Structure 1
Amino acid sequence: MSPSTWPPGPDAPLQLERDGGVATLRFNRPHALNAVDVPMARALLNAVQALAADRSVRAVVLCGAGPAFMAGGDLATLRADPLRGAADLLGPLNAALMVLAAMDAPLIAQVHGVAAGAGLSLMLQADFVFAAEGTRFNLAYVNLGTSCDVGASWALPRLVGLRRALEIAMLGETLSSADAERLGLVNRVLAAGELEAEVSAFAQRLALGPTVALGRLRRLMRASFERDLPTQLAAEAAAFAECAGTEDFKAGIEAFFTKKPAQFMGR
């Protein structure tokens, strides 16, 4: 499939681009460093719901247009009416995260410039994060006198441990790309000129994988923190049984015996 973009128009708050099995969601408020406002939050929810219903989607990339990934929530929305503004933003954002978490397609964040506040929270939900050199990271909420949202309190301790998570959240200090890599917030730091090509190649590699198995793996790993060993073993057995009934499992077994590369179809 040749690359295509939806929704139409350069001013849409979110661009959805497709290239084969890879769907790229590009935040598109570059004049505001992609600070998420209500239209963008609703567009994100609509887009991921459409992706979740499309079995041809086998990897999803989150990225930002212009000079930043995302500089947080739109403070003008929150300043006008803090309680209503927060509800209007968090409703669709949280719903979008739940849809993304339930999908089989792996989620990759392609981050540059700034990832702060809600932008960092969204980034933390990805399975893989690739960042450009020079990117700055700041959870930032405490600097505004508030606690975090968009799943940061769930993801951050799992990635860096409780003490590090509390330090990052409570001090509100800016982290460099080197800091983020050292702490495990990102998988790789790349030269800015190499970021998009590297992420594209990585996403295409995942999109050629056994999508059902990848989905079971991402959910097993995430759920393991809440389960004891017997419960996790039972969940693994159930997931394996589901995968064993797929065409991709048959293709993988056949490829093993014929010594040929497996051709996975994502079903």
Structure 2
Amino acid sequence: MSDSTLLFSLDGGVATITFNRPQVFNSVNKEVALALQERLRECQRNPEVRAVLLTGTGRAFCAGQDLAEITGPDAPEVADIVEKHYNPIVELIRALDKPVLAAVNGVAAGAGANLALACDVVVAKESASFIQAFSKIGLIPDSGGTFFLPRLIGMQRASALMMTGDKVSATEAQQMGMIYKVFADDAFEQEALSLAKRLAAMPTKGLAYTKQLLNGTFGNDLTQQLRAEGDYQLRAGSTTDYREGVAAFLEKRQPTFTGR
């Protein structure tokens, strides 16, 4: 794979992964999908990575699947691409025991929108937008869209957006609870990176336990979730970060967390 189509950097505990095919609105082809999978695995393995920032170059965050790859007599089946390219990415994001921040810098369409929604925290540039574009070409929302979107904004809104393919502005997305925050265009990169650095400096082992609890919450009843909280609280209370947090509070100083 050409390193230029998916950029990667690690600085201050933040691993930044950047879609870099601006000429096709950062649409995803096989090489980008497989490279993103490997980068996410690398982030999981590398203890120096404390948080992941996923973003794009140019006018788009990610326009979803590169349609040029699925046309022609020898093109792969769409279902095969979803199974081999996108589903593993979503599963890796949700399993990663570090916070993943999607910084949506422009259009997020189709699978690109749903990859963003699979992340732990989603922020967007004020001029960005989200489109469930699948219905416009006769497909169904994939990449976890039918799982995440109804849970974020409710069944009625999710159904309408998926069926109509209407564009949602970043401000509208924030208002309906689809994303966390919107930043002004001229401050977006600085604000998104600042948030990623803030997450990286936090007790990331505890954040990982929080993420695992959230992954299971919709499949549990109240009693099951309370028991799970007790189990994970026991684990969190055994971490070095918990001891550091308590000590820093008592000593009236800023804590220094290590993710252990």
TM-score by length of 2: 0.95
Question: Which of residues 190, 198, 205 is equivalent to 2:198?
Answer: 205
Q: Is the 8 A contact 2:82 2:142 kept in 1?
A: no
1:26 aligns with 2:22: no
Q: How does 1:182-197 map to 2 (within 5 A)?
A: 182-197=175-190
Q: How does 1:37-52 map to 2 (within 5 A)?
A: 37-52=29-44
Shift, 1:257, TM fit: 1.9
Unaligned runs of 5+ in 1: 1-6
Look up the match of 2:123: 130
Question: Which of residues 98, 110, 124 is equivalent to 1:105?
Answer: 98
Instruction: Return the alpha-carbon distance in structure 1 between the equivalents of residues 130 and 89 of structure 2.
Output: 22
CA RMSD of aligned residues (A): 1.6
Residue aligned with 1:36, SS? coil
Moved over 6 A (4+): none
Look up the match of 2:218: 225
Look up the match of 1:71: 63
1:82/1:226 Cα in 2 relative to 1: closer, same or farther (>3 Å)?
A: farther
Residue aligned with 2:167, SS? coil
CA deviations over 1:176-199 (Å, ceiling 9, x no partner)? 222111111221111111111001
User: Number of residue pairs matched?
Assistant: 259
Unaligned runs of 5+ in 2: none
Instruction: Return the alpha-carbon distance in structure 2 between the equivalents of residues 190 and 99 of structure 1.
Output: 27
1:175 aligns with 2:168: yes
CA deviations over 1:82-106 (Å, ceiling 9, x no partner)? 6535413541321122122112211
Instruction: Return the alpha-carbon distance in structure 1 between the equivalents of residues 50 and 258 of structure 2.
Output: 10
| Range with bigger deviation, 249-258 or 88-97 | 88-97
Q: Is the 8 A contact 2:51 2:199 kept in 1?
A: yes
Q: Is the 8 A contact 1:72 1:119 kept in 2?
A: yes
Structure 1 counterpart of 2:58, one-letter code: G
Question: Which of residues 236, 255, 258 is equivalent to 1:262?
Answer: 255
Shift, 1:126, TM fit: 1.4
Look up the match of 2:233: 240
Q: Is the 8 A contact 1:121 1:150 kept in 2?
A: yes
| Range with bigger deviation, 28-37 or 83-92 | 83-92
Look up the match of 1:116: 109
Look up the match of 2:207: 214
1:14 aligns with 2:6: yes
Residue aligned with 2:197, SS? helix
1:157/1:89 Cα in 2 relative to 1: closer, same or farther (>3 Å)?
A: closer
TM-score by length of 1: 0.92
Question: Which of residues 149, 156, 176 is equivalent to 2:149?
Answer: 156
Q: Is the 8 A contact 1:42 1:93 kept in 2?
A: no
Structure 2 counterpart of 1:55, one-letter code: P
Q: Is the 8 A contact 2:94 2:215 kept in 1?
A: no
Residue aligned with 1:12, SS? helix
CA deviations over 1:41-92 (Å, ceiling 9, x no partner)? 0000111111111122111111001221011111111223565354135413
Instruction: Return the alpha-carbon distance in structure 1 between the equivalents of residues 27 and 83 of structure 2.
Output: 13
Q: Is the 8 A contact 1:139 1:169 kept in 2?
A: yes
Q: Is the 8 A contact 1:78 1:86 kept in 2?
A: no
Structure 2 counterpart of 1:124, one-letter code: L
